[in-house]
Chain A
Amino acid sequence: MAPILSVEHLRISFSHRAGTIEAVDGVSLAVAPAECVGIVGESGAGKTQVFMAVMGLLAGTAQASGSVRFEGHELLAADAQALNRVRGSKLTMIFQDPMTSLTPHLQIGTQLAEVMVAHLGMRWKDAWGCAARMLERVHVPDPKRRLRQYPHELSGGMRQRVMIAMSLLCNPSFVIADEPTTALDVTIQAQIIELLRAVRGEFGVGLVLISHDLAVVAGLADRILVMYAGSVVENALAEELFRHPRHPYTAELLKCIPSISGARLARLPTLVGQPPRAGEVLEACRFAPRCPRAADRCRIERPQLAGSSSSQVACHFPLNT
């Protein structure tokens, strides 16, 4: 099936007084219609920047090259007018912090209805009604009253439901959720994950779930991409990734996650060292300094992502092969 979203050789750099920082270094990925792909990596890995580029939301100091195609249309080179035809309607994004992504001085109803007024040319009265129905679909109780409320009157979990409702208003084909549960308590996180799962089934949308937490992604994603220092290092079906991680970084990361079952450990497993600082340009595997399997080759030659579309790894000496 033709991918709904494809990113090819995406590079993003930020110019700075001190020089240029490469944040994303040649990322290629594709998402099929109705597929759920998890993007996992630590802070600074570039996972958010890739999708900010997809949405045309990169900071002014950023330069991007490569290609982003959504439903066959090139987005990276598109002007704001062309972008606005798809983003916010067909292609939407849910952000981490539901407080700062809603406008504090507008009622929830206004913020929801204006999406449909702007994109679908609806009348305010009709849009308001659609907004209420959408809130009901994401299980916000008493939607009519909620529409008249302001963001500060809602809890974090409820605000995130409003954000999810907003992302679904124009019947999107693709939703990007960037750390949608990171600011929430575990019990509320479980509810939001459940809601996203239901939304996937009900609306048939493609979903990208960006998270630093493998366990959160695990419950939802069909396929997982692991990013490290600006590149994708592994791409595998979720089940395979957990069972048989191939990139040493994935394997080490999995070991680091403390579990609520199994043996209690006297010491927690750790990854030695720190991720490379952005801006360090290396003709080597960027993970090599922290890698237990690194050999001479890893320090002189950068491994490329290779393999089939659902099983790729960028490593000279992958595990489980």
Chain B
Amino acid sequence: MSSPLLRVRDLRVEFGAHTVVRGVSFELFAGETVGLVGESGSGKSTLARAILRLLKAVGGSVELLGLDLLKCPAATLREQRRGLQMVFQDPLASLNPRMTVGEAIAEPLKIFEPGLNANSRLGQVSAMLERVGLSAGMAGRYPHEFSGGQCQRIGIARAMILSPKLLICDEIVSSLDVSIQGQILNLLLDLQRETGMALLFISHNLAVVRHLSHRVLVMYLGKLVEMAPCEALFASPIHPYTRALLAAVPHIARDAEGAVARPLRAAPTLPAALAEPTQPAALAAPILPAAPAEASMTPRLMAAGCAFRDRCPYALPVCETSEPPLLEVAPGHWAACHRSHETLIPLSCAS
């Protein structure tokens, strides 16, 4: 395979005494879409921001085509940033309410191509508005005049105007209705096909990630616990956390004719999140009987051993003391679990 567009190595981010990203390494290739999933608080957004150096990382490296973004001087970083763009979760809050939509989309051009005259800038903005499914005539309007879906199109237009090499999408469809969600995702896929950019797609919606991604990264308490080609991750997840996450997705099955079948009645559930350390196993969760230990706190879980052990139904004594490394279990399929070589009973079928 060719050399990666982006190589993240052992990236660490700390907020005061808390380590939020604890040594994350992965690669991203041109034209590739990588999904990043995990619960809130797992460090997904922090990781994305650290990659763009919007947050300061305390260790590790982020190489864009061989250049370390974390160590390069400010001027170089500034020049590199035109190739790195981001679209945010809240479409309205990420647009300046006092700027017309046309001005917002033109601003990156003003900064990175100051030589461009007003007319050609306007031409590019109009073309980009049309490209994202809006009309050029809307350039003079303000963000509040648009719906959530339209604002997200504007956010995408602003990010795409400089033809980035890497676009990071942080929960960009979470606040949109399902009928609009598909329109935005398809637009993104079309733009990727046209430009060959790489996408880092952060989402808590596993179904969306499945349809979009080539590879998927699963994050838990600041670490990658599984990394696999999309098909493999959904067909044969290895890490117990990934399996529990998949089992918890409310589900509408489709049968051969494409009809929608009755969904699963009893969704298996995961014991309490670590944010709720003393909660016993949920009411109807016979499948994950492990009751998290009293007063288990995140720092204790991070200090030694596997951070998932308190919620894990398969935890062994070794999980208390030694942290499982991320190992390649099958070609391209990495997992950080002491029992990843065993065939474990799928969570959804147990009990």
Contact = CB atoms under 8 A, between A and B. Distances in A.
A270 B251 contact: no
Interface in A96-128: none
Contacts of B180: 270-271, 274
A215 B250 contact: yes
Contacts of B283: 139, 191, 194-195, 198
B208 A194 contact: no
A59 interface: no
Interface stretch (B101-109, B154-162, B256-264): B256-264
A139 B279 contact: yes
Contact of A243 (B262, B267, B278): B262
A157 B262 contact: no
Interface stretch (B76-84, B88-96, B240-248, B334-342): B240-248
Contact of B249 (A243, A260, A268): A260
A258 B208 contact: yes
A185 B207 contact: no
A187 B252 contact: no
Given A42-B177, A253-B179, A215 B260 contact: no
A190 B251 contact: no
Interface in A263-312: 264-271, 274-275
Contacts of B5: none
A187 B251 contact: no
A218 B252 contact: yes
A80 interface: no
Contacts of A215: 249-252, 263
Given A219-B265, A253-B179, A257-B178, A187 B273 contact: yes
A185 B282 contact: no
B332 to A, nearest CB: 17
A267 B189 contact: yes
A260 B262 contact: no
Contacts of B142: none
Most buried by A among B149, B234, B260: B260
Contact of B40 (A42, A140, A185, A242): A185
Contact of A190 (B182, B262, B263, B270): B270
B117 to A, nearest CB: 35
Given A213-B250, A267-B186, A193 B179 contact: no
Contacts of B149: 274
A190 B205 CA distance: 14
A252 interface: yes
Contacts of B244: 187
Contacts of A254: 252, 260
B150 to A, nearest CB: 8
Interface residues of A, number: 55
Given A141-B280, A189-B248, A268 B263 contact: no
A259 B270 CA distance: 20
Contacts of A157: 272-273, 275-276, 279
Q: Do most interface residues of chain B lie in helix, strand or loop, or is the interface mixed?
A: loop
A264 B249 contact: no
Interface string B173-188: 0000111111101100
A261 B252 CA distance: 9
Contacts of A239: 262
B275 A155 contact: yes
B45 to A, nearest CB: 14
A213 B276 CA distance: 25
B127 interface: no
A262 interface: yes
B282 A264 contact: no
Contacts of B262: 218, 238-239, 242-243
A43 interface: yes
A272 B276 CA distance: 42
Given A254-B252, A258-B208, A193 B182 contact: no
Interface in A138-180: 139-142, 154-158
A266 B230 CA distance: 13
Contact of B207 (A140, A245, A258): A258
Given A42-B178, A141-B278, A187-B269, A194 B285 contact: yes
A82 to B, nearest CB: 36
A186 B204 contact: yes
A242 B260 contact: yes
Most buried by B among A156, A185, A266: A185
Contacts of B181: 256, 268
B186 A270 contact: yes
A245 B39 CA distance: 33
11 contacts: A43-B148, A139-B279, A157-B272, A157-B279, A187-B39, A191-B269, A219-B265, A257-B178, A258-B207, A258-B211, A264-B210
9 closest cross-chain pairs (CB), A and B: A270-B182, A271-B179, A215-B250, A268-B182, A258-B207, A42-B177, A190-B248, A155-B275, A187-B270
Given A154-B276, A185-B273, A188-B273, 14 more contacts: A42-B179, A156-B275, A157-B275, A186-B249, A191-B285, A195-B282, A195-B283, A212-B178, A218-B262, A242-B263, A253-B178, A254-B252, A261-B254, A268-B186
